[in-house]
Amino acid sequence: MLRSLFTALSVTAFLAAPAPAPALAANVIPDPHANASYGAELEGFDYPYPVQRYRFSSQGQALQMAYMDVQPSGKANGRTMLLLHGKNFCGATWDSSIKALSDAGYRVLVPDQIGFCKSSKPEHYQYTFQQLANNTHALLQSLGIDQVTVLGHSTGGMLGIRYSLMYPQEVQQLALVNPIGLEDWKAKGVPSITVDQWYARELKVNAAGLRDYERNTYYAGQWREDYEPWVQMLAGLNRGPGHRLVAWNSALLYDMIYTQPVVYELPQLKMPVLLLIGDKDNTAIGKDLAAPEIRSQLGNYPVLAHEAARQIPHVKLIEFPDYGHAPQMQDPTAFHKALLGALQ
């Protein structure tokens, strides 16, 4: 059934896909595993800590949710940090944050959401942030965890907001790192495309395109060798034998992100909220589809951050003027010093 679905969808390939990315810059050191391919659940790619699996049933099917559960390496403070990854990220990309938080005495729980990385890629799934939050809450319940501090990055920030709205009595504090969804792209003029068209775009994903996009969006036009493994992680998924299933789930997830902004519900967050914002970020889903005059107005994070801060009742805003979408990866030392200093 899946084969026939993908065959049909391939016929509807989106003709306006982005142009191929430019060649690798001279200062980029090629990764020795650049041609590696990984299974649909990222088999073959090692995580920095042992991976466990929570098995459960959702929407009439058996699924498994991969996660890392890292105990405090410093003096335990009795708190648990729940780390929620972004769209082009995985639990593994939190590696420096896991270490910093564990050293500071936190238990650190790091799931891969369904549809991502080492977790299940269903053939059919209705993706909503409510569903992902429910899955995550069930994981915490299975581990006997009833109080968490949530740290969400990018799309994980959207999920963190939804989780905090659904389970407010169980969230001690919410920390958001360059969350997306702080603007409603469709209301601002980003054209809507179908899941079939998202799928056709995702089939074109490759290392060169990922690297170019991340350099310009995540890292403020800069590139370092330590970013390359994360490009190869995603590219390897899309080179692997399950690449069509990976692309299909990615398409469904993009549709979820585009259609479910959280910006309208920020005033309902009653717990303390910490906003950590790299000001050079310009992320906006579907921005390349918008007209030039609209595109230039999207993803303006210095403006979005201050607009969000005005709406959230109990908020502290920390800005990183020189960094982009992932300040925790660009300058882990400065980021974690700010984070740990602001956690209540």
For tokens 């209540």, name the residue.
344
User: Which band of pLDDT confidence, cut at 50, 70 and 90, is reported for residue 125?
Assistant: very high
* Higher-confidence position of 99 and 34: 99
Q: What is the pLDDT of residues 34-74, one digit of tens each?
A: 689 999 999 999 999 999 999 999 999 999 999 999 999 98
Q: Percent of the chain scored above 90 by pLDDT?
A: 88
Distance CA 155, CA 121 (A): 18
| CATH classification at residue 306 | 3.40.50.1820
Sequence-ordered list of residues with C-beta below 8 angstroms from that of 25, at least 6 positions apart, any chain: 223
Task: Output the six-digit token pair for 283.
Answer: 């992320």
User: Which band of pLDDT confidence, cut at 50, 70 and 90, is reported for residue 234?
Assistant: very high
Distance CA 177, CA 277 (A): 6
Is pLDDT above 80 for 27? no
Task: Output the six-digit token pair for 63.
Answer: 């699924």
For 327, list phi and psi in degrees, rounded to 5. -60, -25
Taking alpha carbons only, the member of 175, 161, 154, 214 closest to residue 25 is 214
Sequence-ordered list of residues with C-beta below 8 angstroms from that of 265, at least 6 positions apart, any chain: 161, 165
Sequence-ordered list of residues with C-beta below 8 angstroms from that of 167, at least 6 positions apart, any chain: 133, 137
The neighbouring-strand residues paired with 84 are: 152
Sequence-ordered list of residues with C-beta below 8 angstroms from that of 3, at least 6 positions apart, any chain: none
Domain span at residue 304?
2-342
Task: Output the six-digit token pair for 321.
Answer: 């003027």
Is pLDDT above 70 for 25? no
Whole-number pLDDT of residue 33: 55
pTM of the model: 0.90
Q: What is the pLDDT of residues 178-229, one digit of tens each?
A: 999 999 999 999 999 999 999 999 999 999 999 999 999 899 999 999 999 9
User: What is the count of structural domains for the chain?
Assistant: 1
Which class for 167: exposed (0-12), middle (13-18), buried (19 or more C-beta within 10 A)?
A: middle
Q: Percent of the chain scored above 70 by pLDDT?
A: 90
User: Which band of pLDDT confidence, cut at 50, 70 and 90, is reported for residue 26?
Assistant: very low
Q: Are 228 and 332 in contact (CB under 8 A)?
A: no
Is pLDDT above 60 for 128? yes
Task: Output the six-digit token pair for 304.
Answer: 């979005």
Task: Output the six-digit token pair for 56.
Answer: 């459960």
